[in-house]
Amino acid sequence: MIIDVLTIAIGFVLRAVGGAVAVHVEISHWLVCTILLALFIALAKRRHEIVLLASDAPTHRPILGEYSPYLLDQMIGVVTASTLISYIFYTISPETQAKFGTAWLGLTIPFPLYGIFRYLYLVHQREGGGSPADLLPDRPAASRVRGAVGAHGGRDHLPSRMRLRAPLSALGPRLPASTGSGGQAAAES
């Protein structure tokens, strides 16, 4: 049963790793954030299937007979907390702060918090969660994703109507550039 959701989560992560390899980007040890988020989504998908199919769930997919909504809710609770804690550690990591050139990444913590809570709301109150794409037409969640991308310095890569009005550097002093594992200094924005 647990192997089932781990396999789904690993599939998500392998796609991320494959993308990094394809574009020759270093794979960070912070991939743990992606692994936990993928596990959260896999558990939410299983919960959605069980609630949607009810008593027919095991005939649709036999492994669903091994789950209950209560068990999945318990697992989702553990993974949700773990995901948020790992993201918080990511934002306060000296390595991450040097990469982005700011010590203010903690200000982005409300974005994933809101995104996870909104996804849980859609799973529990709107019977959604079958796919992460459920969030795409969800305007409140989409606006938080745009805010998180902008706060991480991605403002120059967003359409003009989605850009933050000021760069992240306006929030405070930049950290001194450090040498990364590839020997290159952290990029200035």
How many whole angstroms separate alpha carbon 118 and alpha carbon 149?
A: 17
CA atoms of 153 and 17, how far apart (whole Å): 22
Q: How far apart are CA 70 and CA 19, in angstroms?
A: 35
Per-residue pLDDT tens listing for the chain (189 residues): 788 889 988 998 899 899 989 999 888 888 888 899 999 988 988 888 888 878 887 778 888 888 888 999 999 999 999 999 999 999 999 999 998 899 999 999 999 999 888 888 888 887 776 666 766 665 665 555 555 555 555 544 444 444 444 444 444 455 454 444 444 444 444
Supply φ then ψ for residue 49, to 5 degrees: -60, -45
- Reported pTM: 0.67
